[in-house]
C-alpha cells in the first residue's frame, strides 16, 4: 500500500510547504486504479440505495457491491456479502474510493461555524479525500469551524497551520482541503485580500479594546449594524438590522464610542438577542420598557437577555422609569462553613422500656394501659391481633427529650391503620393512614373535639399516595421534637406534617388501629433516638409569588433567585412556582388576584407589596384588613407565608436633586406607617401560631437615601443596592433572595430548644410542716400558694420534680408534693411513703408561661412527722 494522502500532502519545505512529491502521487493513483479494477472483475455490483442492496441477497459470500446514490449519505460506500447466496446480509467495509468530493455550504450554519453537505460521505481517515466547497458568507471571528454531513466540527487551518483570521473567508470564495485530525487543512494560505481584512479587523479590535469591551467568540459589534451612542441618533433601524442578522444566538456587543447612550424613537421590544452589556450601555427613548410588556409576559415571551460583566440601563423618557439589567449571577460556591457541620448522635432506644398505651378511637383523649397480646424485645414490639385490644389506638409510648429526633419503621397488615402519635395531658396529635391509603393529620384537643386535614403527597399535590415507599405504613417515620411542644413529622427524612401541642409531649411513638380480630401480628421496629440531629428536609416546594414590582419578574432572575438559593439547600426540591405579582399593583389588586387562585398544593407563598398603596394613599384600616385577608387565603391550604417588608424609599424629586432619575412617585414619608401595619399583622398571626415570617429589606440593604444615588454621565453610583428611588438593583435582590430563603426555612423547621436549663429550688427554710397541715414551698414555707412563690421570667417546661424531707413521715403516713403554677395544681406530683425521705416525678411535664409564679404544695398526712422540706424542679426554656 502506498503512503496515505495525509502523508503525501503534509507540509513540505519552508520555501514551498504545499508542494507534494509527484512519485508518491503517482503511486497513490495506481493503488486507487487497482481497487477499481478489482471491483470490476467481481461483476461490478452497483446500487442506488442501501435498501435495494439489502433486498438482493442472491450473491455468494464475499461478493463486493457499491452503494452510490442513497439519500442518507452515510449509507453510500463499499459493502461485502456475508453468508451464502440467498441468505445473510451486506456489511459496509469501506468508503467509496473517491479522491475528490464536492461539498455545499448553503448557509445552514453561521459565519464562524460552517455547516456543509455532500452526496458522498467524507472519509473518516485523515487525507482520505480532497474536499472543495464555496463559502456562503464571510467569517467574522476566529477560529472558524466546518462540519460535514452533521459530523464533528473541524477547525479550519491554513496550509501553514494558522487559524483563518476574521474576514479571511469571503462570500463566494472556493476553498479546498482535507481532514487532518480535528482540523480541516486548506491547500493554500489566505490571499492578500484576506490579510487586508485581517488588518482591518485587528484595528477594530484595538478600538474596542480601548473602550473596554470584551467581545465573545460569537459576538457581533453594534457598530456593524449602524448603532450610534450619542443619545440623540435614532437606532431603531440598527436594532432591526441586528435582530435580523443575529439568528443563531450571537451576542450583540454594545460598543461605547461617544456616551454609551443609545436612543430609540419607537422600539420597545429588546428581546430575542443576547445583549453584551460589558460597556455599561443605556437604552433610552419614549417606549423603552423595563423588560417585557404585560402582554408579552402573559404570552410567556422570552425576557431581555443580558450577558457580560456590565449592566444595561433602560431609561424610559415617557414613563419616567429607569430599570437595570444584569447577567444571571454565578452559581453557589462549593465550600462549607462552621454552620454546615453535622453533629448527629444516634442512640438505641430499648423498646422494653416503652409504655404500651391506648386511646379510645376516635374520640378518646385519655390513655390507659395496653397489655393484652403484646410482647417486647430490645428492638421489637409485637401485637398479636388474636388477643390484642381491638377498635382502639394502641401505641408504644417513649418519653421524649426536647431537641431530639425519634425514628422507627413498622410492620403492618392489610387491615391495619398506622399511626405516628404525640400524646400530651388531655389530648394527642397524630398522622395516620390505612395501608396504601391517604394520610391524615389529626389534632384531638379534648374528648370528641378534634380537627383533621389531608397530608398531601410529594408527587402531584393531591392526597392520594402513588409510591408504596412513600406511604406511612411502608416508610421510615421520624418525629422531631423541636421544643417540648413543637414538632415535625418526617417520612423518609422529609417533613409531611408539623404542629404545636397544647401542652408538653408526655409520650411519642408508633401506633396501630385494628377493627377486627385476626391471626396476623403487627410490629414496631428499631426505635432510634438522635441528639443534635440534622433537620428534616422540607416538603418539595411549590411556590406562589404575590405582590407588585417587589415580586414581579420584570427584573431578570428575580424572584427566581429564591428558587436558585433554596434548590438543593437542606434537602430542598423546588418543584414549581407561579408568579401573579404585577408591577404597579396595589394590595387590593393583588388580593383580588390571590382570591381567584386555587391554593391547593402550594407549600410556600412569598408576598412583597405596599409601595403603591403608599403612593395612592390607601386608608390604613383598609390596608390592614386587606393584608389579613391575603394572609388568610395564603394559609388556607397549609402553605407557609414569607412577607417581604418593603424598604423606605424617597420621592423622585429628591432623586433629581442629587442627579438621579426614577419613578415619578411621591408619598415616601408614609412608608413607615405601612411597614408597621404589615409588621403588626404578621405579629398577630405569629401570636396565633400561624406560619408567617417577615423579611425586613431595610435590615438587608441599609439606609435608602437620595443623596446616596449620585448618577453621573458614566452611570456610577454610591449606593449599589438602589436602582432608582423605589427599586433595588439586581445584586441587592440576590441578597433579599437569601434572606427570604432563610425566613422560609425558619418556618419549615423552627429553632430548637436551648440546651440551658434552670434548676429551681423551693424550700421551707427553717419552717416545718405539722401533721395534718398544708404548706406552700417557695422562698419560704407559706400558708398560701402565692405568698412565697418564685416568678419565672421566661417561658419554659417544668419537669423532674424531686423532693426531700428531713425525717420520714412514719408508719402509715405520707408527704404529698404538687407543683403549683399561679396557685393552680398541676400533674407534676409525687408522694413519699412511711419510711421514705425522697420522692420524685420524672415522667410528667408542665408548660409555664413567662412571668408565671411557681410553688410546691406539701400535704402532711393526719399523724405524719413534723419535718422541713425542700424541692427542686427543672425549667427548660422554650
Q: Which among 664, 660, 404 has a CA at the least distance from the CA of 536?
A: 404
Rounded to whole angstroms, what are the CA distances from 170 to 195, 226, 794?
A: 12, 21, 82
**In angstroms, rounded to a whole number, what is the distance separating the alpha carbons of residues 275 and 392?**
69
SS3 613: helix
Neighbours of 92 (CB within 10 A): 16
At 196 the pLDDT is 54
| 578-595 pLDDT tens trace | 899 988 899 999 999 999
Section 368-391 average pLDDT: 92
Q: Where are the alpha helices (DSSP H) in 162-286?
A: 192-210, 236-245
- Any idea what DSSP says for residue 627? H
**In angstroms, rounded to a whole number, what is the distance separating the alpha carbons of residues 296 and 304?**
11
Q: Give the β-pairing of 853-860 and 790-791.
A: antiparallel
**In angstroms, rounded to a whole number, what is the distance separating the alpha carbons of residues 777 and 47?**
110
**In angstroms, rounded to a whole number, what is the distance separating the alpha carbons of residues 337 and 736?**
21
Q: Which helix (H) or strand (E) holds 28?
A: helix 22-41
Q: Give the β-pairing of 758-763 and 640-645.
A: unpaired
Rounded to whole angstroms, what are the CA distances from 18 to 25, 27, 185, 599?
A: 13, 19, 11, 74
At 348 the pLDDT is 94
SS3 877: strand
pLDDT category, 27, cuts 50, 70, 90? low
At 483 the pLDDT is 86
Structural contact between residues 457 and 464, judged by C-beta atoms closer than 8 angstroms: yes
Spatial neighbors of 439 by CB under 8 A, at least 6 apart, are: 431, 432, 433, 454, 455, 463, 465, 471, 472, 496, 497
pLDDT above 80 for 652:
no
Structural contact between residues 288 and 236, judged by C-beta atoms closer than 8 angstroms: no
For the chain, what is the largest distance between any 2 Cα atoms, rounded to a whole number of angstroms?
132
At 464 the pLDDT is 41
Residue, of 621 and 327, whose pLDDT is higher:
621
Neighbours of 78 (CB within 10 A): 16
**In angstroms, rounded to a whole number, what is the distance separating the alpha carbons of residues 218 and 142?**
9
Q: Among 194-203, 504-513, 627-636, whose mean pLDDT is lowest?
A: 194-203
pLDDT above 60 for 466:
no
Angle at which helix 587-595 crosses helix 620-635, to 10 degrees, equals 30
Q: Give the β-pairing of 230-234 and 261-263.
A: parallel
pLDDT category, 513, cuts 50, 70, 90? very high
pLDDT category, 759, cuts 50, 70, 90? confident
pLDDT above 60 for 825:
yes
At 851 the pLDDT is 87
Q: Among 35-49, 185-199, 551-565, whose mean pLDDT is lowest?
A: 185-199
pLDDT category, 296, cuts 50, 70, 90? low
At 330 the pLDDT is 46
Q: Which helix (H) or strand (E) holds 611?
A: helix 611-616
Section 410-427 average pLDDT: 91
Section 717-737 average pLDDT: 79
Compute φ and ψ for 621, nearest 5 degrees: -65, -40
Q: Which three three-digit cell numbers place residue 613?
A: 398603596
Whether the link from the prior residue into 784 is cis, omega within 30° of 0, is: no
At 813 the pLDDT is 94
pLDDT above 60 for 79:
yes
pLDDT above 90 for 165:
no
**In angstroms, rounded to a whole number, what is the distance separating the alpha carbons of residues 323 and 291?**
8
SS3 78: strand
Output the average pLDDT for the chain.
83
Section 793-804 average pLDDT: 89
**In angstroms, rounded to a whole number, what is the distance separating the alpha carbons of residues 401 and 505?**
9
Q: Please state the length of the chain.
A: 878
**In angstroms, rounded to a whole number, what is the distance separating the alpha carbons of residues 734 and 278?**
20
Q: Which three three-digit cell numbers place residue 313?
A: 440601563
101 DSSP β-pair partners: 131
Q: Among 14-18, 578-582, 851-855, whose mean pLDDT is lowest?
A: 14-18
**In angstroms, rounded to a whole number, what is the distance separating the alpha carbons of residues 686 and 699?**
20
Neighbours of 99 (CB within 10 A): 14
Neighbours of 441 (CB within 10 A): 20
Spatial neighbors of 609 by CB under 8 A, at least 6 apart, are: 546, 547, 548, 550, 551, 581, 585, 586, 587, 590, 646
| 528-574 pLDDT tens trace | 999 889 888 888 888 999 998 888 876 666 788 888 888 888 888 88
pLDDT above 70 for 30:
no
Rounded to whole angstroms, what are the CA distances from 104 to 119, 136, 175, 661, 837?
A: 9, 9, 11, 55, 105
Q: Which among 722, 670, 721, 678 has a CA at the least distance from the CA of 696?
A: 678
Q: Which three three-digit cell numbers place residue 595?
A: 382570591
Section 405-414 average pLDDT: 92
Spatial neighbors of 541 by CB under 8 A, at least 6 apart, are: 563, 566, 572, 573, 574, 575, 577, 603, 604
Residue, of 853 and 609, whose pLDDT is higher:
853
Spatial neighbors of 15 by CB under 8 A, at least 6 apart, are: none
Section 765-784 average pLDDT: 90
Q: Which helix (H) or strand (E) holds 55?
A: helix 50-55
Rounded to whole angstroms, what are the CA distances from 527 to 121, 345, 400, 628?
A: 68, 14, 12, 43
Angle at 324 between CA 320 and CA 330, to 5 degrees: 165
Amino acid at each position: 500500500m502506498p503512503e496515505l494522502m495525509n502523508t503525501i500532502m503534509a507540509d513540505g519545505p519552508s520555501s514551498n510547504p504545499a508542494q507534494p512529491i509527484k512519485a508518491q502521487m503517482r503511486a497513490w493513483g495506481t493503488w486507487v486504479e487497482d481497487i477499481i479494477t478489482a471491483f470490476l472483475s467481481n461483476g461490478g455490483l452497483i446500487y442506488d440505495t442501501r435498501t435495494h442492496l439489502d433486498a438482493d441477497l442472491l450473491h455468494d459470500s464475499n461478493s463486493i457491491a457499491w452503494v452510490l446514490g442513497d439519500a442518507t449519505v452515510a449509507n453510500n460506500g463499499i459493502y461485502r456479502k456475508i453468508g451464502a447466496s440467498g441468505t445473510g446480509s451486506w456489511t459496509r467495509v469501506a468508503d467509496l474510493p473517491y479522491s475528490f468530493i464536492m461539498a455545499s455550504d448553503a448557509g445552514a450554519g453561521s459565519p464562524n461555524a460552517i455547516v456543509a453537505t455532500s452526496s458522498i460521505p467524507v472519509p473518516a481517515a485523515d487525507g482520505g479525500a480532497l474536499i472543495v466547497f464555496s463559502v456562503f458568507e464571510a467569517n467574522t471571528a476566529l477560529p472558524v469551524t466546518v462540519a460535514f454531513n452533521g459530523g464533528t466540527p473541524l477547525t479550519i487551518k491554513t496550509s501553514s497551520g494558522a487559524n483563518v483570521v476574521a474576514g479571511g473567508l469571503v462570500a463566494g470564495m472556493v476553498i479546498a482541503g482535507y481532514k487532518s485530525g480535528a482540523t480541516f487543512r486548506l491547500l493554500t494560505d489566505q490571499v492578500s485580500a484576506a490579510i487586508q481584512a485581517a488588518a482591518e479587523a485587528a484595528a477594530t479590535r484595538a478600538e474596542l479594546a480601548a473602550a473596554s469591551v470584551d467581545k465573545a467568540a460569537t459576538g457581533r459589534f453594534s457598530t456593524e449594524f449602524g448603532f450610534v451612542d450619542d443619545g440623540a441618533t435614532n437606532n431603531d433601524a440598527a436594532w432591526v438590522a441586528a435582530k435580523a442578522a443575529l439568528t443563531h444566538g450571537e451576542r450583540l456587543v454594545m460598543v461605547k464610542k461617544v456616551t454609551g447612550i443609545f436612543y430609540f424613537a419607537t422600539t420597545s421590544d429588546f428581546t430575542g438577542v443576547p445583549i453584551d452589556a460589558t460597556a455599561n450601555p443605556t437604552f433610552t427613548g419614549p417606549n423603552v420598557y423595563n423588560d417585557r410588556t404585560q402582554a408579552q409576559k402573559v404570552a410567556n415571551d422570552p425576557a431581555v437577555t443580558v450577558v457580560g460583566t456590565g449592566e444595561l440601563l433602560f431609561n424610559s423618557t415617557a414613563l419616567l422609569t429607569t430599570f437595570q439589567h444584569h447577567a444571571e449571577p454565578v452559581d453557589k460556591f462549593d465550600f462549607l462553613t462552621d454552620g454546615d457541620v453535622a453533629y448527629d448522635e444516634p442512640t438505641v432506644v430499648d423498646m422494653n422500656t416503652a409504655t404500651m398505651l391506648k386511646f379510645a378511637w376516635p374520640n378518646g383523649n385519655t390513655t390507659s394501659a395496653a397489655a393484652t397480646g403484646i410482647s417486647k424485645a430490645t428492638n421489637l414490639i409485637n401485637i398479636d391481633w388474636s388477643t390484642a385490644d381491638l377498635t382502639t389506638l394502641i401505641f408504644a409510648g417513649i418519653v421524649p427529650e426536647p431537641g431530639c429526633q425519634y425514628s422507627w419503621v413498622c410492620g403492618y397488615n392489610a387491615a391495619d391503620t398506622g399511626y405516628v402519635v404525640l400524646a400530651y395531658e388531655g389530648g394527642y396529635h397524630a398522622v395516620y393512614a390505612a395501608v396504601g391509603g391517604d394520610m391524615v393529620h389529626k389534632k384531638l384537643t379534648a374528648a370528641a373535639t378534634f380537627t383533621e386535614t389531608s397530608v398531601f403527597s410529594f408527587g402531584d399535590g393531591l392526597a392520594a399516595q402513588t409510591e408504596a415507599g412513600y406511604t406511612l405504613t411502608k416508610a421510615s417515620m421520624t418525629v422531631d421534637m423541636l421544643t417540648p411542644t413543637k414538632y415535625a413529622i418526617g417520612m423518609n427524612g422529609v417533613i409531611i406534617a408539623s404542629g404545636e401541642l397544647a401542652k408538653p409531649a408526655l409520650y411519642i411513638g408508633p401506633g396501630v388501629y385494628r377493627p377486627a380480630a385476626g391471626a396476623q401480628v403487627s410490629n414496631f421496629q428499631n426505635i432510634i433516638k438522635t441528639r443534635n440531629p440534622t433537620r428534616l428536609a422540607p416538603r418539595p416546594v411549590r411556590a406562589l409569588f404575590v405582590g407588585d414590582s417587589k415580586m414581579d419578574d420584570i427584573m431578570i432572575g428575580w424572584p427566581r433567585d429564591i428558587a436558585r438559593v433554596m434548590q438543593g439547600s437542606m434537602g430542598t426540591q423546588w418543584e414549581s412556582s407561579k408568579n401573579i405579582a404585577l408591577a404597579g399593583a396595589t394590595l387590593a389588586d393583588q388580593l383580588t388576584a390571590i382570591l381567584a387562585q386555587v391554593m391547593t398544593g402550594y407549600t410556600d407563598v412569598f408576598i412583597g407589596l405596599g409601595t403603591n398603596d403608599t403612593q395612592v394613599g390607601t386608608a390604613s384600616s383598609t390596608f390592614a384588613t386587606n393584608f389579613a385577608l391575603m394572609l388568610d387565603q395564603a394559609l388556607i391550604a397549609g402553605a407557609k407565608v414569607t412577607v417581604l417588608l418593603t424598604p423606605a424609599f424617597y420621592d423622585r424629586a429628591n432623586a433629581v436633586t442629587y442627579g438621579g432619575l426614577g419613578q415619578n412617585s411621591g408619598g415616601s414619608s408614609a412608608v413607615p406607617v405601612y411597614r408597621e401595619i404589615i409588621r403588626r399583622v404578621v405579629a398577630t398571626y405569629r401570636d396565633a401560631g400561624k406560619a408567617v415570617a417577615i423579611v425586613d429589606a431595610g435590615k438587608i440593604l441599609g439606609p435608602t437615601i437620595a443623596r446616596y444615588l449620585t448618577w453621573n454621565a458614566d452611570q456610577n453610583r454610591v449606593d449599589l443596592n438602589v436602582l432608582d428611588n423605589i427599586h433595588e438593583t439586581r445584586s441587592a435582590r440576590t441578597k433579599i433572595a437569601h434572606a427570604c430563603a432563610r425566613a422560609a426555612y425558619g418556618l419549615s423547621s423552627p429553632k430548637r430548644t436551648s440546651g440551658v436549663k434552670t434548676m429551681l429550688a423551693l424550700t421551707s427554710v427553717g419552717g416545718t410542716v405539722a401533721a395534718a397541715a398544708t404548706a406552700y414551698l417557695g422562698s419560704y414555707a407559706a400558708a398560701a400558694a402565692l405568698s412565697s412563690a418564685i416568678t419565672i421570667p421566661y417561658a419554659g417546661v417544668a419537669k423532674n420534680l424531686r423532693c426531700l424531707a428531713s425525717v420520714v413521715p412514719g408508719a402509715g403516713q405520707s408527704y404529698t408534693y404538687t407543683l403549683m403554677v399561679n396557685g393552680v395544681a398541676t400533674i407534676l406530683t409525687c408522694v413519699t411513703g412511711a419510711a421514705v425521705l425522697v420522692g420524685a416525678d420524672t415522667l410528667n411535664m408542665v408548660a409555664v408561661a413567662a412571668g408565671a409564679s411557681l410553688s410546691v404544695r406539701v400535704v402532711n398526712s393526719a399523724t405524719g412527722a413534723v419535718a422541713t422540706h425542700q424541692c427542686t424542679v427543672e425549667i427548660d426554656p422554650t
